[in-house]
Amino acid sequence: MKRTLLSAILFLSVTVCFGQSKLISYDDLGYLLRNNINKADTFFAAKGYSLIDKNVNKKTRRYGLKIEGGTYANFNLRNDGRRMYIEIETNEPEQYNLIYNSISQYINNQTSTPEVQTFAVKDLGSIYIMVNDTTPYNPLRRTYTMQVVSDKSITAYN
């Protein structure tokens, strides 16, 4: 009986851990901001994302992930000189919660207006979060747009 219970607990914990492995957290954002845009290809491929658009001249990439239940997570990366800019568009509440909870212990400053939440995050930069209703309207779904702007001291390596 104890082995069955232990096996069930182990199975559920592995399922939960791997269930969130495709979602991006504070550590993943730090990795993306500190490495060049070419390493993002490998990183997102390992997470299960697909490359939607790639523009070599503008140094931009767009990755997408379709999640069960009709939700999605799209990441737009732009390399501007040595700094990386990340924009996340998702209607998956778990992605929003994962980012919000993972940055909560690193917040230096937080401001909020009716349209935008702004966080100054230690060793990362600024995160701007906008929450909108989905189209067509669904009271259970919201569209989250998050923009991550790295600090001036954080540069992407070649």
Residues 93-150: tens digit of each pLDDT: 999 999 999 999 999 999 999 889 999 999 899 999 999 988 888 888 899 999 999 9
Residues 28-53: tens digit of each pLDDT: 999 999 988 888 999 999 999 999 99
pTM, entire model: 0.81
Distance CA 60, CA 5 (A): 48
The crossing angle, in degrees rounded to 10, of helices 26-34 and 37-47 is 150
